[in-house]
Amino acid sequence: MFRNAQQLMLFSTAVVLFVTACLYGQQLIKTMTDALNNTTQFTVEMEGRMNTTLRTTEPKRYSGAEVLHTVRQMTGTSITVEVDGQAHLVDPLINRKKTIPVQLNGSYRPEFIRDEWGGLMRIQFWKEASVH
């Protein structure tokens, strides 16, 4: 009889530990999901306003389509976007058909103008001559 009671206690302990581990795992998954959702929401709210300090050794080139996308993404921010020296403001919510004069297949060199603290003030795109 004593042996059966001991086995029942061990089995009960194992069941309690298993259920506790399952509940703890479920709580961890919920916490990780909440953290991921909060990070995603924070990143969405910061769209176009993040400062980067990455420096590349080779200047990046943008296609005309990327320039159009950048202009539309920066609308509504305090950051001015210029293409070939002309500032453009395209608000897709007000006028979806308004566009800027860029060649979609063209190559544009970006210049990021920053203040003394590293904050982005203006983006300039300059068209490069094609070699065809």
Same domain flag for 95 and 120: yes
Range of the domain at 40: 1-45
- For the chain, the domain total comes to 2
Q: What is the pTM of this model?
A: 0.47
Name the β-bridge partners of 83. Answer: 86, 125
Residue 10 covered by a domain:
yes
Cβ-based neighbours of 71, under 8 Å, separated by 6 or more: 81, 83, 88, 90, 100
Name the β-bridge partners of 108. Answer: 62, 127
Q: Taking a C-beta distance cutoff of 8 angstroms, is the pair 68, 106 a contact?
A: no
Query: Does residue 76 carry a pLDDT above 90?
Result: no
Same domain flag for 32 and 84: no
Same domain flag for 25 and 72: no
Paired tokens of 90: 């395209």
Task: Tell me the pLDDT of the chain averaged across its residues.
Answer: 79
Same domain flag for 25 and 80: no
Same domain flag for 70 and 107: yes
